[in-house]
Amino acid sequence: MSGSKEETVIRKLLDSADIKINGDRPWDIQVLNSGFYQRVLSGGSLAFGESYMDGWWECPALDRMFTRLFENRVHEKAGTVIKSAPWAGLKALVLNAQSRAKAFVVGKRHYDIGNDLFLAMLDRDMNYSCAYWCDAATLEDAQRAKVELICRKIGLKPGMRVLDIGCGWGGFIKHAACEHGARILGVTVSREQAEYVKAECCEPDVRVELMDYRDLNGAFDAVVSVGMFEHVGHKNYRTYMRTVHRCLKPKGLFLLQTIGGNRSTKSLDPWVEKYIFPNAMLPSARQITEAAEGLLILEDWQSFGHYYDKTLMAWYHNFIANWARLKANYSKRFYRMWTYYLLSCAGGFRAKMNQLWQIVFSNEGIEGVFRNSDHFFVSE
C-alpha cells in the first residue's frame, strides 16, 4: 500500500539504515500516529524526539536504532530533505547563550530537577559522567576507577589544594578528600548539588560554592573539571582557559574530562538543547586546543568514549529498575523523555558520533612524566 509523499521520504531515510517502519526487529520503528511523517519532515530531530515523548511511535531498542541512524549518517542525509528552522545555529553565532547572566540556567533546568532521580540512576557517589570500565565489572567500581585515575593523573598528594570546576554531587571531591587528604574547593551552578555535597561530605578541608567559573580566583596545586566544559560554549572557551591559567600554580596540572564532537560546531542538537541540556554544546579537539594555546601546555590526551555507551546503559537500567518509586514525582512523558535521552546518547557513543576525552594540561610544563598503554602518571 502506498503512503503519503512524507511517509515515502521518511521510509527511504530509515531504509538507508536498515530500519523498517512497523518491522519486527528490535531496532524497527512502530508508527502509532499517521501524523508522524509530516511532523518529522517539518520539524527534524526536534520533532522526532517530541513525537516519541508524545507516544506517536515506539521502538523496543532505541539505543540500537540510534546506532544505526548515526552509523549510516541518516542525520546528514535528512538535512537535504527536512526543513528545520535555522534559528539555533543563528542564535549560537549572534548570542552568548552561556554568558554570566545565563550561567545558572542549566543548573535549574537539569541538575536541580530532583536528587531522587539521580540517586536512583547513578552510583553511590553520584558521579554523573563517563565511568572508566577498564578493569571494572560494575558501575560502582568503574566510577571509583575513574576518580582514582584522575587523582593519579594530577599526582594528588595529601595537603594539595585542588579546584573542582563543576563539582556535581561531589564524587571526585569525596574521593580526593577522604582517600588522598586533599584540600578542595568545588564550584557548581546547581543549588541542589551544592547542598548535597555540603550535607554528604563533612571533611574539614572541603568547601563548595554556588558560583560561576568566571568569578574564580586563588592559587591551586591542581584543577579538575569533569563533565562541565560542555556547558561553557564556544564564545567562552578562551575565557575558561584563562580562568584555569589564573588559578593554577606554575607547576600545577589541569585535568579536563569532557564529551567532545568530531567536528567544530556552535550549537547542539535542538531536542537535547530544549529538553536536557539548555545552552550546551560539544567542543571539538581543535576548539579545545585553540582555547588553551599560549596559556596551557598539553601533556596528555586519553580517549575512552566507548565507555560512555556502557555507562549510559547502566544508568538506563538503574532508571528503569527504580521507576516504580520515581513515578510518583515524574510524569509518563518525563519517563519517555529520559529514556530517549539516555538511549539516544548511548547509541551516539556506540556509533562514534561523540567522544569522551581526559586531557591533562600544565601551566609551565613538567618533568618526570611517564606513561604505559592505559594510564598516565606523574613520577614521585
pTM: predicted TM-score of the whole model, two decimal places: 0.92
Show the CA angle centred on residue 30, arms to residues 26 and 32, nearest 5°.
155
Task: Please name every residue paired with 359 in a beta bridge, in sequence order, or none if there are none.
Answer: 256, 301
- H runs (alpha helix) in 235-331: 237-247, 270-275, 285-292, 306-321, 323-326
Report how far apart, in Å, the C-alpha atoms of 110 and of each of 182, 231, 241, 274, 339 are. Answer: 29, 12, 25, 11, 15
Phi, psi of 356 (to 5 degrees): -130, 125
Query: How far is Cα 114 from Cα 209, in angstroms, rounded to an integer?
Result: 19
Number of alpha carbons in the 13 Å side-chain half-sphere of residue 109: 15
Average pLDDT over residues 232-246: 96
Query: How far is Cα 369 from Cα 377, in angstroms, rounded to an integer?
Result: 6
Query: How far is Cα 377 from Cα 154, in angstroms, rounded to an integer?
Result: 8
Higher pLDDT pick, 166 / 374: 166
Reported as a single tens digit per residue, the pLDDT across 16-29 is 999 999 999 999 99
Is 345 one of the catalytic residues? yes
Per-residue model confidence (pLDDT) at position 367? 77
Query: How far is Cα 72 from Cα 66, in angstroms, rounded to an integer?
Result: 10
Per-residue model confidence (pLDDT) at position 362? 97
Report how far apart, in Å, the C-alpha atoms of 336 and of each of 4, 57, 207, 349, 351 are. Answer: 27, 11, 37, 20, 22
Reported as a single tens digit per residue, the pLDDT across 106-165 is 899 999 999 999 999 999 999 999 999 999 999 999 999 999 999 999 999 999 999 999
- Candidates 233, 103, 120; CA nearest to 169 is 120
Amino acid type, 7 = E
CB 220 within 8 A of CB 163: yes
Residue 42 pLDDT more than 50? yes
Reported as a single tens digit per residue, the pLDDT across 52-101 is 999 999 999 999 999 999 999 998 887 766 655 444 444 545 556 666 66
Per-residue model confidence (pLDDT) at position 98? 66
CB burial string 181-217: b at 16+ within 10 A, e below: ebbbbbbbbbebbbebbeeebeeeebebeebbbeebe
Q: What does the block give as the cell for 11?
A: 521510509
Per 3-state DSSP, the chain is made up of helix, strand and coil in percentages (nearest 5) of 45, 15, 35
CATH 3.90.1150.10 fits 102-378, yes or no: no
Query: How far is Cα 20 from Cα 27, in angstroms, rounded to an integer?
Result: 8
Reported as a single tens digit per residue, the pLDDT across 287-310 is 999 999 999 999 999 999 999 999
Residue 370 pLDDT more than 80? no
Strands 206-210 and 161-165, by their bridges, are unpaired
Q: Band the pLDDT of 1: cuts 50, 70, 90.
A: very low
CB burial string 108-141: b at 16+ within 10 A, e below: eebbbbebebbebbbbebbbbbbbbbeebeebbe
Per-residue model confidence (pLDDT) at position 378? 44
- What is the phi-psi region of residue 203: left when phi exceeds 0, alpha when psi lies from -120 to 50, beta otherwise? beta
Residue 37 pLDDT more than 90? yes
Reported as a single tens digit per residue, the pLDDT across 324-353 is 999 999 999 999 999 999 999 999 999 999
358 contacts: CB under 8 Å, gap ≥ 6 = 149, 150, 153, 255, 256, 257, 300, 301, 302, 304
Q: What does the block give as the cell for 182?
A: 586533599
For the chain, what are the domain ranges? Answer: 5-84, 102-378
Instruction: Check 130, 151, 247, 345 and give the catalytic one.
Output: 345
Strands 220-226 and 248-261, by their bridges, are parallel
